[in-house]
Amino acid sequence: MSTKLIELEQFAPPCVREERISLVKILFATRQILQTDSKDALEPVRKPLG
């Protein structure tokens, strides 16, 4: 399936490729932020209660 995607991308206009790259970068950045926030939110739970 990924081979088909690569083949289709060869015919996509450059602006479409640029937009896709931007969306992937945004997705990655959002994922990193969410992971960091999740770790920060769980930090008090990890500490012993005693």
Residue-range domain boundaries for the chain: 2-40
Query: Looking at residue 39, what is its pLDDT?
Result: 74
> How far apart (Å, rounded) are the C-alpha atoms in residues 21 and 41?
30
Query: Looking at residue 8, what is its pLDDT?
Result: 66
Cα separations in angstroms, 30 against 18, 34, 47: 18, 6, 27
Other C-beta atoms lying within 10 Å of the C-beta of residue 29: 10
pTM above 0.75, yes or no: no
pLDDT in tens, 2-40: 566 566 667 777 888 888 889 999 999 999 888 887 777
The answer to whether the CB of 17 falls within 8 A of the CB of 8 is no
